C-alpha cells in the first residue's frame, strides 16, 4: 500500500482511486470584482494557488481519478439563499446584486464560473452548492457512493470556511480526507494556519494535511 507522508501521520492510499475535490475556485472568490472583493478582501493569495492546483489537477486527470469541482451558487430567484445569509454583514454588494462579473454568487453568471486554468472538462463533475459545505443540497454523496470512493483529496477556497466545512461533513460520513495544504488558501493567513492545526489535532480528528510535493509523487506511484 502506498502512503503519503502527511501530518499528523502517514495517509494510506486505497486501491480504489481517491476523488479530487476542488472547492469554489470560481471567479467570484479569486478574481477582483467578485464577491470576495465586495467583502473587502485582497483576492491575490487565492489566485496564487492556481498554478499549484493546476499541476495537481493535471496529474489527477492523467491518472483518471474522479474529479469534482464545486461552486457556491444560488438560484436566480434566491429561493435557496436564506435572508440570514444574504443580509449578513455591511457589504455594499450582497449575494444576488449586480457586480462587474454579473450577479454575485448566482448560478450561470460569469463570476460564478470556475477560473479558466481549472475549468472542468467533460467527464468531471461541476456541482453548484447553495451552502458552505459541498454535501449540503448537492448530489455529492450519491456520486461518491456510485464511484465507490472512500478517500478524498480536498483543495480550494477558503480554507476555514467552505473547505473546512466540507472536510468535516465528509469526516462525519466516513471518508478519509487529506487536505493539500498548498492547494488551499484563505484571505487571512492566520485563519488558514489555525484550520490546518484544527484538522490535524488529536491524532487527525478531522483528517490529514500534506503538501502537493509529496501528494503528487505518491499518486503517481500508486496509480501510474
Q: Give catalytic residue positions.
A: 24, 129, 162
Nearest to 161 by CA among 139, 188, 140: 188
Contact 100, 28 (CB under 8 A): no
Amino acid at each position: 500500500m502506498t502512503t503519503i507522508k502527511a501530518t499528523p501521520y502517514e495517509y494510506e492510499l486505497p486501491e480504489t482511486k481517491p476523488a479530487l475535490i476542488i472547492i469554489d475556485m470560481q471567479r467570484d472568490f479569486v478574481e477582483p470584482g467578485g464577491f470576495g472583493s465586495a467583502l473587502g478582501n485582497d483576492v491575490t493569495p487565492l489566485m496564487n494557488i492556481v498554478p499549484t492546483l493546476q499541476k495537481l489537477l493535471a496529474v489527477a486527470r492523467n491518472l483518471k481519478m474522479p474529479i469534482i469541482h464545486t461552486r457556491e451558487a444560488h438560484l436566480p430567484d434566491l429561493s435557496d439563499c436564506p435572508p440570514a445569509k444574504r443580509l449578513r454583514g455591511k457589504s455594499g454588494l450582497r449575494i444576488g446584486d449586480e457586480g462587474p462579473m454579473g450577479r454575485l454568487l448566482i448560478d450561470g453568471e460569469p463570476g460564478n464560473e470556475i477560473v479558466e486554468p481549472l475549468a472542468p472538462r467533460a467527464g468531471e463533475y461541476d456541482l453548484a452548492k447553495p451552502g458552505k459545505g459541498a454535501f449540503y443540497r448537492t448530489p455529492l454523496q450519491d456520486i461518491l457512493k456510485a464511484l465507490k470512493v472512500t478517500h478524498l483529496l480536498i483543495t480550494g477556497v477558503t480554507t476555514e470556511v467552505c473547505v473546512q466545512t466540507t472536510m468535516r461533513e465528509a469526516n462525519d460520513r466516513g471518508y478519509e480526507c487529506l487536505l493539500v495544504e498548498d492547494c488551499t488558501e484563505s484571505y487571512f493567513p492566520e485563519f488558514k494556519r489555525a484550520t490546518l492545526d484544527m484538522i490535524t489535532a488529536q491524532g487527525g480528528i478531522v483528517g490529514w494535511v500534506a503538501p502537493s510535493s509529496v501528494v503528487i509523487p505518491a499518486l503517481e506511484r500508486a496509480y501510474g
